[in-house]
């Protein structure tokens, strides 16, 4: 029985060595990739320049606002659902139209939000708010959301609204 175990152990060692030796040869070959230097503006999302809401209707010159490969748009719930169950997708369609007209076509970044700047407050549709709460939204939530920890209070404001 011990000779059988020795044979199995020898076979196992041989198989392991067979797998390690080619791997060592592969590791010895080193591949170095050096991309060409790039000094222009990057037009990919997250790095470089992105168009925000199609420039809010302003069309700066290329020198003032370089070409971009990304169109970013923010949409508010109350604008997309002005009445309960009634949806207006025209703003989203416009964002895709702007991106498609661009040559080459741009990527589109969409962000859907329930809160706006402190001065305008909640963008939750009034009917959706009133289904859960009595009364109306008022300045107390706007003031709360305007504080220095506004991002930390987002969940609280969204829950309250």
Helices (H), 29-149: 77-80, 90-101, 126-132, 139-145
**Is omega for the bond preceding 104 within 30 degrees of 0, making it cis?**
yes
* DSSP 8-state class, residue 102: S
Task: Give the alpha-carbon dihedral of 152, 157, 158, 161, to 10 degrees.
Answer: 180
Q: Is 157 exposed, middle or buried (0-12, 13-18, 19+ CB in 10 A)?
A: buried
Task: Give the alpha-carbon dihedral of 86, 72, 104, 66, to 10 degrees.
Answer: 140
Phi, psi of 108 (to 5 degrees): -125, 130
Q: Which helix (H) or strand (E) holds 108?
A: strand 107-113
Q: Beta 107-113 vs 51-52: how paired, if at all?
A: unpaired
Establish how many alpha carbons lie within 13 A of residue 35's alpha carbon, considering only the half-sphere containing its beta carbon. 3
3-state secondary structure string across 23-51: HHHHHHCCCCCCCCCCCCCCCCCCCCCCE
pLDDT tens, per residue, the chain with 161 residues: 555 677 887 777 776 666 655 555 556 677 888 878 877 766 655 565 666 666 666 776 656 656 667 777 888 888 888 888 888 999 899 888 888 887 777 788 888 888 777 666 677 777 776 776 665 555 444 444 444 444 444 444 455 44
What are the Cα distances from residue 101, in Å, to 94, 95, 97, 105, 110? Answer: 11, 10, 6, 7, 17
């Amino acid at each position: 029985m011990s000779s059988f175990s020795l044979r199995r152990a020898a076979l196992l060692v041989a198989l392991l060595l067979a797998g390690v030796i080619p791997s060592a040869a592969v590791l010895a070959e080193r591949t170095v990739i050096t991309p060409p230097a790039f000094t222009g503006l990057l037009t990919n999302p997250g790095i470089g320049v992105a168009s925000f809401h199609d420039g809010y209707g302003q069309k700066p010159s290329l020198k003032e606002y370089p070409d971009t490969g990304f169109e970013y748009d923010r949409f508010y719930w109350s604008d997309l659902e002005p009445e309960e169950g009634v949806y207006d997708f025209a703003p989203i369609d416009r964002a895709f139209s702007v991106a498609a007209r661009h040559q080459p076509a741009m990527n589109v970044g969409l962000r859907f939000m329930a809160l706006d700047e402190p001065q305008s407050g909640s963008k939750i549709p009034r009917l959706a708010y009133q289904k859960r709460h009595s009364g109306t939204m008022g300045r107390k939530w706007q003031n709360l959301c305007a504080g220095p920890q506004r991002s930390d209070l987002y969940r609280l404001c969204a829950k309250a609204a």
